[in-house]
Chain A
Amino acid sequence: MTVQDAATLRARRQWPMPKQAVPGAPLLEVEDLSVRFRMPGGPSVKAVDGVSFRLEDGEAMGLAGESGCGKTTTALSLVRLLPANGRISSGSVRLFGIDLVPKTERQMARYRWREISMVFQGAMNALNPVKRVGDQIAEPIEIRLGQPRGAAQKRAAELLDLVGIPEKRASAYPHELSGGMRQRAMIAMALACDPALVIGDEPTTALDVMVQAQILALLERLRRDLGLSLMLITHDLSVIAETCDRVMIMYAGRVAEEGPVRRLFSAPRHPYTAKLLSSFPNIRADRRTLDTIPGSPPDLRKPPPGCRFAPRCAHAMPVCTEEAPTEVRFADGVRVACHLFPPGAQGVVASGVAASGIGGGLVRAAALPSAGGRP
């Protein structure tokens, strides 16, 4: 996405930009975000530790990693919907250049749904079981945008139509809809206030493969038609490959690798990314036993020093268990935090700068150690 595109997309907004928006600032810039969970009678859990990334207008970014790696926590902390014992301990979340972290709860409410809305996993539980779906979609239109009830209902019906649900189903209750329909309704609800960014937290996980494909096609269409910016959290790397421009792989609360989907999937640099990709079936490849990663993610109450993946890494060196790797950026836009790629290594263009934009030239990282590529 170029700046020109961002300007076009912002001009298409139905509602004015937030007053404090910094002109020229990217859609979302997260810097050094850390989230802790207080635990009864013990050290707190560092669920997210120094995560940085950036999202441009109209861009779709996938967020992948094992369960408990901090994907959902990262997403929820953007709108500060963490559970009661969770707290952002440091870092900034800048939406259009406005830092949301110091905002009070009341101020924060202004940005929820109108700027960042969410599609949750398993819409059966995410939709209120005793309210009609049309009313649930109309609710934010009425309350957040101050539209009269009739207009909100009308808009809700239009949104249902947009996601492929007949308008008359607006009067249905969630349990009267199929799983796919509920997820569509959830997506319609997420679009209610014309948000700048939609976060999908495993939006297709609970669905069967056919319905999954329909929902992904729907998201793809909405992205194209509405110029939606998307953040997609999923275990399913194929979903990311299909829908996203960029992908961020997280491990134990930190970013392992991030970059353009094609680059990252065809030539993973971080050993964890490589393992993650090889533990995923490939429909075109020969039948083979899927790779697994020995061991389990570390206890985040006492994360190991150094690289958190080191205990499970086949390429671990002495330095890996002592020092946390620095993030380095390659010319092709991929950034990696791994000691195999120290600052100053071949192909590395910058180090320690996380949330900066994608680099210009195509200086291909030449020498990829054995960690790269698929086995």
Chain B
Amino acid sequence: MSGRYLLQKLARAVLTIIVIVLLNFLLFRAMPGSPARIASHHPGVTQAAIDQLAARWGLDKPLIPDQLVAYVNATLTGDFGLSYQFRGEPVTEVIGDRFWPTMILIGLGELFAIIIGLALGAYAGWRRGSAVDRVGGGISLVLYSMPYFVIGMPLIIVFAAGLGWFPTSGMFDAGATYASGLDQLLDFAHHLVLPLTTVTLGLVGAYSILMRSAIMETRSEDYITTARAKGLTDGRVLRTHAFPNALLPMVTIIAIDLGYVVAGAITAEVVFNWPGIGTLTVDALQARDYPVLQGIFLLLSFTVVLANLVADLVYGFLDPRVRV
């Protein structure tokens, strides 16, 4: 990979982030309600605190340049303001607390879905019309069309409420005390099973369907005929020639999907009351907690841009043709 390619992609990512920061600034200034009005709904917020807020963000000065400069300065130093909803806790801390539960849930879900989906899709596409293709294809399509809460609800009804194997919601047992770290980890894992299954099932359909068509397209390429003519076994042709090539278009799709890891989690998290970014978004919306929302929006955009950058770099590494 040449340095120029790397620089080009990096520059594009940085530029995108700058635009996003500006849009984020404008969006929340355009929304109805001012800090003063919202704070007045919360008893216990003194006029002094409101005045302090206005002074800090330059709210009594013009939007551009004063408010913008104040916002950009604060954002650059990692200061996203204070949450209204959580008694003035800094936004970074509020989001930080909720970040890892989401990363673990959706990250693991993506990982399992990618492994299972790509394997299933590759096999189904390679053996088109086989039992695996027909059954797997049908299940994939059904799962693909189901939102997380439709997958999650029956799981809760059967495995949590019915059989009682898993807890219905949360990340830890309420008020539990743990003898050791391992104990706590086990409780966490116990709570993780159902939400993780839901996320995995929700993602696996799309990956398997896309991989199937990618493999089918690759299968008719001339170099696959060459590989077969070389007397390589069917499995080897699939593993060493068809799969790596079919993976190329998948890299972009997966990366874009990974960008929505956080955003996509909302319904899954709400169903299981998982204390992640998703539930935080819903809570912040309901409470008109603009600073927190602003922080979340920035985080979401950032993950999308980052995921795309990673996709470009991985693609450049996998496909020699783009190494310009």
Contact = CB atoms under 8 A, between A and B. Distances in A.
Interface of A: 79, 81, 105-106, 109-114, 117-118, 120, 122, 125-130, 139-140, 143-144, 173, 175-176, 189
B319 A130 contact: yes
Given A128-B241, A129-B245, A113 B221 contact: no
Interface of B is mostly: helix
A110 B231 contact: yes
B87 interface: no
B72 interface: no
A374 B193 CA distance: 82
A112 B228 contact: yes
Contacts, number: 71
26 contacts: A109-B231, A109-B233, A111-B231, A112-B230, A113-B229, A113-B231, A117-B229, A118-B226, A118-B229, A120-B225, A126-B226, A127-B223, A127-B226, A128-B226, A128-B245, A129-B223, A129-B245, A129-B321, A130-B244, A130-B245, A130-B318, A130-B320, A139-B230, A139-B232, A173-B320, A176-B320
A110 B244 CA distance: 25
Given A128-B241, A140-B231, A120 B320 contact: no
B235 to A, nearest CB: 11
B227 interface: yes
Interface size range on B against A? 20 to 34
B56 interface: no
B231 A125 contact: no
Contacts of B230: 112-113, 117, 139-140, 143-144
B231 A144 contact: yes
B222 A81 contact: no
A120 B321 contact: no
B223 A81 contact: no
A62 B263 CA distance: 63
A122 to B, nearest CB: 7
Nearest to B242: A128
In this complex, which of B226, B232, B234, B241 has the most chain A Cβ atoms within 10 angstroms of its Cβ? Answer: B226
B42 interface: no
Nearest to A128: B223
B236 interface: yes
B318 to A, nearest CB: 7
B229 A112 contact: yes
In this complex, which of B221, B222, B227, B248 has the most chain A Cβ atoms within 10 angstroms of its Cβ? Answer: B222
A175 B319 CA distance: 11
Contacts of A130: 244-245, 248, 318-321
A143 B236 contact: yes
A125 B223 CA distance: 6
B221 A125 contact: yes
Contacts of A175: 320-321
A113 B221 CA distance: 19
